[in-house]
Structure 1
Amino acid sequence: MIWRQLTKRFLLIPSKCHYSISLYFTQTSKLPTMCKDEVIVVTGGSGFLGQHIVHLLQTQENSIKEIRIFDVKPYKKFLDHDDVKPVREIIGDICDPYEMKNALRGADAVIHIAGLVSFSTFPQFDEMNRINISGTKNVVTTCIEENVQRLIFCSTVDVVIGFDDIVNGTEETTTTPSKFLFPGYPESKHKAEQLVIRSNGTYLTNGQKLHTISLRPNVMYGEGDPFMITAALKSAKETFGWVIRVGDGSALFQKTYAGNVAWAFLKANEALRLNPDSVGGHFFFIPDETPIQNIFDSLHPYLTPAFSVFISFSAFLLFVALRDCPHEDT
């Protein structure tokens, strides 16, 4: 388990690295006991981050009456834990009002992870807008109708990534760029995040208030990772075992272990429960102590290096465009 590299309890402190919030977690850290057993809904609970959150709800949360996993795909557990707390699996679409009402009825908090990530040369713009924006709007609306008091939203660090370097950025100093580095996904997540943040303080049907928070994870790695390591290995297979290094290696980025990101969501739920007026309506970056590296150096533990071939970024984009260009089989 990669958790062993982090020896402190969870803290919110100024980061010396890239962003303003650092998270420290030990596997023995336990959340304080809730005043009552609660029902927690995890949208996208069958996916990469979702399963890490479910894992911690099972092993670290003290007072849970039921964990509800809401996803379009079945829940096939890939992390090692016993289901000591009741799990209710619901197959459904976050864009469907009826299915969301069924999932959220009687819930105390929603951890909203479900979303579509598309970084290909031809992103699925319409589907990302449907799932990431309209789906999130439906989640917010259903929280209000079903009197769910807490909503923790999974945003992304990509909502602040443009064409300028970010060094020692914080929530206060890092703004949304006029043009995102990648098309489609960041914009859809930014619009969804704004929906969540602006809904903080909205009155529920029963007269209580909805309290919301948004977390912005970095690129994640860990058990079940379908993105970073998997994509690198797939790319190497498509290029006959070669991984093409783009640039001279001076560009650095910060990745985060998925288990630590999951822990941040549990802590965010706790913070909304204990201090809703202090943290509600805010967003937070989620790094940890994983070393800041060039992305290709970070892949070395998973690949057998031969020698490196450096190409310019523009040449790389041309290669990707030609590779992903629609074609007919002959």
Structure 2
Amino acid sequence: MPFMDKWSCLVTGAGGFLGQRIVRQLLEEEKQLEEIRLLDKVLSPQLLLEFSELKHKTKVTVMQGDILDEQLLHKACQGITAVIHTASVIDTGLWRRKEVMMEVNLKGTQLLLEACISASVPIFIYTSSVEVAGPNSYRKPVQNGHEGELLESKWRNAYPYSKKLAEKAVLAVDGQLLRSGIIMHTCSLRPMYIYGEGSIFLQSEITKALNNDKTIKRNKEGSMANQVYVENVAWAHVLALRSLRDSEKAQTIGGQFYYICDDTPPQSYSDLNYELSKEWGFKLGSKIGIPFTLLYWAAFLLEMISFMLYPIFIYEPPLNCHLLTLTNSVFTLSYKKAKKDLGYMPRFSWLEAKQKTSQWIGTLVAQNREYLKTKAP
């Protein structure tokens, strides 16, 4: 069966780093999109103006509020054809925002699924994370991994744990018969580390380097991971949506998860930051002087101290084993399944992505320069 003629879409986290790109691409590419609903806690007036000007034939409806607001979710899902759920809280700490992440990432997803089932929404796409797959150990490299290997994170840290449980909940409802008589189909996309203009994580690393003579802290020698440009991740969501709107393809894609990366060369996170910023005079720091195994065990001891103190005092260690493993392992994955099933191919090359991101970093450097001038005596 071909695509539905007229359809509508709800995007959660629509004002976020990824969500706003998905909204832009839907407005630009989907000619039959009658209405798009934007759900987020905060949506800037400038962003809303841009969305409204992109495509005048598509109705843009703003639904400002919390993903835990059940009444709002039920209202947002009424009459909707598809949901793209990107809203999430990300944190790499041990205790920091743990309760919030479990509430937003897991409970919020469960509540949204319930609202979709109640409103007979037939399509649900979940923005998951590579962290639901691993890495579990810096000693065990995974190279060119794929979906068939069924890699699964063993970490109990709130972010990977909440995302893993939420993804399982999403995929479990695929194939459910809705009250309208339509079959519900779901799928999950697992992007690698997402970079690009506006990334708060990349901005944080650049800010740290600016405060350290433009020196980027180096990861463990030999570590390697995939990174993916934000516009390519957004495009993967559009293609997944198109595939699920086709009832024949939905039979194959429903209930599946897909790794999403692009042609950014696999490299360490510090090498990526350097490649994106070297045009502006940034440099890589010296190699880690402390043996990594010793650093890891130090993090483990700090975690044990934190757990022992937990009943009376919340101590957030400066290091934790999950973060060290995540940023200092060999863990690369393939997007071949997404290419085969979704027709996914990156819209932007590594060169284009690097140029665009580097230009944005240049604006951060200029802003920092202006800031320092105001502080000069």
| TM-score bucket of the superposed structures, by smaller chain | 0.7 to 0.9
Letter of the aligned partner of 1:165 in structure 2? P
2:277 corresponds to which of 260, 285, 302? 302
> 1:212 offset after TM fit, Å?
0.3
Q: 1:37 aligned to 2:6?
A: yes
Q: Is the CA contact 1:78–1:224 (under 8 Å) kept in the aligned structure 2?
A: no
The CA distance in 2 between the partners of 1:307 and 1:70, in whole Å, is 40
Length-normalised TM-score, structure 2 = 0.71
Structure 2: gaps (5+ residues): 303-315, 321-377
1:232 — aligned with what?
Answer: 205
> 1:238 offset after TM fit, Å?
4.9
2:145 corresponds to which of 169, 172, 181? 169
Please report the RMSD computed on the Cα atoms of aligned residues, expressed in angstroms: 2.5
Distance change (3 Å), C-alpha of 1:298 and 1:66: same
Q: 1:143 aligned to 2:111?
A: no
> 1:306 offset after TM fit, Å?
4.5
Runs of 4+ in 1 over 6 A off after TM superposition: 78-81
Q: 1:149-164 alignment to 2 at 5 Å?
A: 149-161=122-134, 162-163=136-137, 164=140
Distance change (3 Å), C-alpha of 1:307 and 1:154: closer
> 1:315 offset after TM fit, Å?
4.1
Q: Which segment drifts farther, 303-312 or 106-115?
A: 303-312
Q: Is the CA contact 1:144–1:203 (under 8 Å) kept in the aligned structure 2?
A: no
Q: Which segment drifts farther, 205-214 or 280-289?
A: 205-214
Length-normalised TM-score, structure 1 = 0.80
The CA distance in 2 between the partners of 1:276 and 1:38, in whole Å, is 16
2:317 corresponds to which of 305, 308, 321? 321
1:267 corresponds to which of 224, 228, 239? 239
Q: 1:89-100 alignment to 2 at 5 Å?
A: 89-100=62-73
The CA distance in 1 between the partners of 2:93 and 2:24, in whole Å, is 30
The CA distance in 1 between the partners of 2:29 and 2:73, in whole Å, is 26
Q: 1:203 aligned to 2:173?
A: no
1:83 — aligned with what?
Answer: 54
Q: Is the CA contact 2:8–2:35 (under 8 Å) kept in the aligned structure 1?
A: yes
2:313 — aligned with what?
Answer: none
> 1:268 offset after TM fit, Å?
0.7
The CA distance in 1 between the partners of 2:160 and 2:239, in whole Å, is 24
Distance change (3 Å), C-alpha of 1:80 and 1:251: farther
> 1:246 offset after TM fit, Å?
2.8
Letter of the aligned partner of 2:144 in structure 1? N
The CA distance in 1 between the partners of 2:107 and 2:211, in whole Å, is 35
The CA distance in 2 between the partners of 1:143 and 1:100, in whole Å, is 8
> 1:106 offset after TM fit, Å?
0.7
Distance change (3 Å), C-alpha of 1:260 and 1:307: closer
The CA distance in 2 between the partners of 1:307 and 1:276, in whole Å, is 46
> 1:35 offset after TM fit, Å?
3.3
| Count of matched residue positions in the alignment of Structure 1 and Structure 2 | 288
Q: 1:286 aligned to 2:260?
A: yes
2:29 — aligned with what?
Answer: 60
